[in-house]
């Protein structure tokens, strides 16, 4: 196998995760985006989602909540909504055949975490004002290619 | 080509190579606790004040393939792109420092820690008892009780003015003996046999949230650290030295609502950008200069139909400093109270955190704020106090702006340390 083919194979393997389109499901099984949850000792759940946009984060969170509660009658308390900064390193080749490595920061995927209590009044769920603020809040993450956590 | 393969392989493996596989939190042992008992607390003086987070945009990837020319071009572009955000972050930090400087932050933390000492707790209990007795007396008088009962109540009422003897009981386990502040910026060795607390205060990129992170540690030559984490091979060097106790405590303020972009807001934003680059005579930068290009870029961004994080910050920073910074002061005090309380509680826990545990919800307040202990990962064992029903996504950038007064303070401290050597 020539060195060139070897490079292509390694690069393809390294980039495989990045090429996967977001798909609803547990984190890890459907790629870097999705949800994870755990039941707390008091019977409530903690749901964590990793998503590309604010809208997707809320959709995933609410969908998982509905699955766990068997309907939309639940109370949620989002305690974390964060876009971490991740450091990316890479190597680029120019048209002249020469290349160079670089290191730069970028916004990562959106992380949202909250408590879910099934059967409780849904007013608190309706109180989350995230959608109204979406145009400003999603801008950084969508402006650059988000990196998976 | 081999170099290319090596570089790609190195990048692919980089993520696997560095992360430690054990929690950074170090709990005390029973032996440590017995030795420590009453322990002085030293608040490591904060010098940065409230920092303003911002995102330094780098275009280095675009120029990486073009050698020195690429570096020069991207450096110039970066300077123009980042001039505006940098200046705004600096301005926000300056505005906040005018109201609350590092000394005020340090004094507030010292006071909140002092309130957790047995002496202060006893004083508070006595004051509460006196207030309760006075209230009981007043209630009894209002209810028109029998003469005997009123007499009894009257006897109780003057308690408000009287001095109730303060009985300081010695708590079990580790407790704060006293608290002082110390300048540790240039310190090279850890302090012996004291609990050291260092805190950072950072406003998010859009200024919607204040994040307060405290690091607490304890180290003593009498009781060196011995790891209780399990390792398959040899114990890493980092786990064979350092403090006997270590943990972090993070407080997130209540989030300010992000403003909606309206034509009026856009005009205010444009005016703000122009005001921030005017010289002493009120003139805008001359055409063709770097400052002019930077301003033009900011104005272009301001005229588009979306508010960026640092544009939002212009408006939300003002919300924090409104009413003499009342909201900021309140959040800082709450953060300090959380830190003082939970550091003490945590030092009396001996549980070793694991990489695969579960978060523990410790407290839920009336406003939906929660306090939880992280259960898994390298942050396992750390504490987080989060506001409830968080609305927008916060980011804390990759750079901070520090107020000019605090930069000057840091310089003074460093100069004094140099002169002392």
A11 touches chain B (CB under 8 A): yes
**Whether complex ipTM tops 0.85:** no
Separation in Å, CA of A87 to nearest CA in chain B = 9
A132 touches chain B (CB under 8 A): yes
Give contacts of A 54-113 with B, CB under 8 A: 54, 57, 77-85, 89-94, 96, 98-105, 107, 110, 112
Give the per-residue pLDDT at A120: 66
Of the listed ranges B142-151, B210-219, B250-259, the one predicted with least confidence: B142-151
What is the layout of strands, in order, in the sheet containing A110-118?
Answer: A34-39, A45-51, A110-118, A74-82
In this prediction, residue B303 has a pLDDT band, given cuts at 50, 70 and 90, of confident
pLDDT tens column, B313-363? 989 998 999 999 999 999 999 999 999 999 999 999 999 999 998 899 999
DSSP reduced 3-state for B399: strand
Give the per-residue pLDDT at B146: 53
Query: Which residue is listed with tokens 């995933």?
Result: A60
Asked if residue A149 is part of any domain, the answer here is no
Contact A137 B393 (CB under 8 A): yes
pLDDT tens column, A90-132? 888 877 777 788 888 999 999 999 999 999 654 444 444 443 3
Give the per-residue pLDDT at B293: 85
B65 touches chain A (CB under 8 A): yes
Closest residue of B to A9, CA-based? B5
Question: How far is Cα A7 from Cα A134, in angstroms, rounded to an integer?
Answer: 40
Question: How far is Cα A20 from Cα A33, in angstroms, rounded to an integer?
Answer: 10
Mean pLDDT of B389-399: 94
Mean pLDDT of B143-168: 55
**∠B98-B103-B106 over CA atoms, to 5°?**
130
Question: How far is Cα B90 from Cα B361, in angstroms, rounded to an integer?
Answer: 37
A123 touches chain B (CB under 8 A): no
Separation in Å, CA of B13 to nearest CA in chain A = 9
DSSP state of B282: S
Of the listed ranges A84-93, B69-78, B123-132, the one predicted with least confidence: B69-78
Asked if residue A35 is part of any domain, the answer here is yes
Give the per-residue pLDDT at A3: 42
Q: Which of B1, B205, B361 has the CB atom closest to A7's CB atom? A: B1
- β partners of residue B182: B44
Statement: residue A138 has pLDDT above 60: no
In this prediction, residue B396 has a pLDDT band, given cuts at 50, 70 and 90, of very high
Asked if residue A148 is part of any domain, the answer here is no
A19 touches chain B (CB under 8 A): no
Count of domains forming chain A: 1
Give the per-residue pLDDT at B152: 52
Asked if residue A122 is part of any domain, the answer here is yes
Give the per-residue pLDDT at B261: 86
Asked if residue A52 is part of any domain, the answer here is yes
The domain containing residue A63 runs over which residues? 3-143
Contact A14 B370 (CB under 8 A): no
Contact A101 B394 (CB under 8 A): no
Q: Which of B171, B177, B172, B211 minimizes the C-alpha distance to B194?
A: B177
Asked if residue A63 is part of any domain, the answer here is yes
Q: Which of A3, A99, A129 has the CB atom closest to B391's CB atom? A: A129
Asked if residue A32 is part of any domain, the answer here is yes
């Amino acid at each position: 196998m020539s060195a060139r083919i070897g490079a292509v194979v390694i690069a393809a393997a390294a980039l495989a995760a990045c090429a996967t389109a977001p798909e609803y499901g547990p984190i890890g099984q459907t790629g870097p985006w999705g949800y994870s949850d755990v039941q707390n000792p008091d019977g409530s759940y903690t749901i964590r989602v990793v998503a590309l946009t604010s809208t997707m984060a809320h959709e995933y969170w609410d969908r998982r909540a509905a699955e766990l509660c068997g309907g939309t009658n639940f109370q949620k308390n989002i305690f974390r909504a964060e876009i971490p900064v991740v450091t990316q390193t890479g190597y680029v080749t120019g048209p002249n055949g020469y290349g160079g490595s670089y290191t730069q920061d970028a916004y990562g995927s959106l992380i949202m975490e909250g408590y879910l209590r099934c059967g409780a009044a849904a007013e608190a769920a309706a109180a989350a004002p995230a959608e109204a603020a979406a145009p400003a809040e999603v801008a950084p993450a969508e402006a650059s290619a988000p990196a998976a956590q | 080509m081999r170099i290319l393969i090596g570089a790609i392989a190195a990048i692919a493996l980089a993520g696997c190579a560095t992360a430690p596989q054990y929690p950074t939190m170090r709990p005390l042992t029973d032996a440590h606790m017995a030795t420590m008992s009453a322990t002085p607390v030293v608040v490591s003086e904060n010098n940065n004040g409230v920092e303003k987070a911002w995102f330094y945009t780098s275009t280095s990837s675009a120029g990486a393939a073009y050698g020195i020319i690429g570096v020069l071009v991207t450096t110039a572009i970066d300077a123009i792109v980042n001039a505006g955000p940098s200046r705004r972050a600096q301005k926000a930090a300056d505005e906040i420092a005018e109201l609350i400087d590092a000394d005020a932050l340090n004094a507030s933390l010292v006071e909140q820690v002092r309130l957790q000492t047995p002496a202060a707790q006893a004083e508070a209990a006595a004051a509460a008892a006196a207030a309760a007795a006075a209230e009981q007396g007043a209630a009894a008088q209002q209810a028109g009780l029998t003469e005997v009962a009123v007499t009894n109540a009257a006897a109780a009422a003057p308690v408000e003015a009287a001095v109730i003897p303060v009985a300081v009981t010695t708590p079990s386990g580790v407790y704060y003996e006293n608290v002082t502040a110390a300048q540790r910026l240039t310190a090279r060795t850890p302090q012996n046999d004291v609990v050291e607390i260092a805190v950072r205060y950072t406003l998010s990129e859009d200024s919607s949230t204040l994040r307060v992170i405290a690091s607490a540690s304890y180290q003593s030559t009498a009781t060196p650290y011995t790891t209780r984490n399990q390792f398959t091979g040899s114990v890493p060097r980092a786990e064979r030295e350092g403090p006997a106790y270590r943990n972090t405590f993070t407080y997130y303020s209540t989030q300010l609502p992000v403003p909606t972009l309206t034509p009026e807001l856009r005009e205010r934003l444009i005016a703000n950008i122009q005001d921030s680059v005017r010289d002493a005579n009120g003139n805008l930068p001359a055409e063709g200069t770097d400052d002019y290009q930077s301003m033009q870029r900011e104005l272009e961004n301001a005229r588009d139909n979306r508010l960026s994080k640092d544009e939002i910050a212009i408006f939300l920073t003002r919300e924090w400093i409104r009413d003499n910074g009342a909201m900021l002061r309140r959040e800082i005090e709450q953060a300090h109270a959380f830190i003082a309380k939970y550091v003490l509680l945590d030092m009396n826990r001996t549980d070793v955190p694991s990489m695969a545990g579960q978060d523990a919800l410790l407290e839920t307040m009336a406003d939906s704020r929660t306090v939880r202990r992280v259960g898994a990962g390298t942050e396992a064992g750390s504490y987080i106090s989060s506001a409830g029903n968080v609305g927008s996504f916060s980011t804390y950038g990759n750079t901070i702006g520090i107020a000019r007064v605090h930069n000057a303070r840091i310089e003074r401290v460093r100069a004094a340390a140099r002169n002392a050597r």
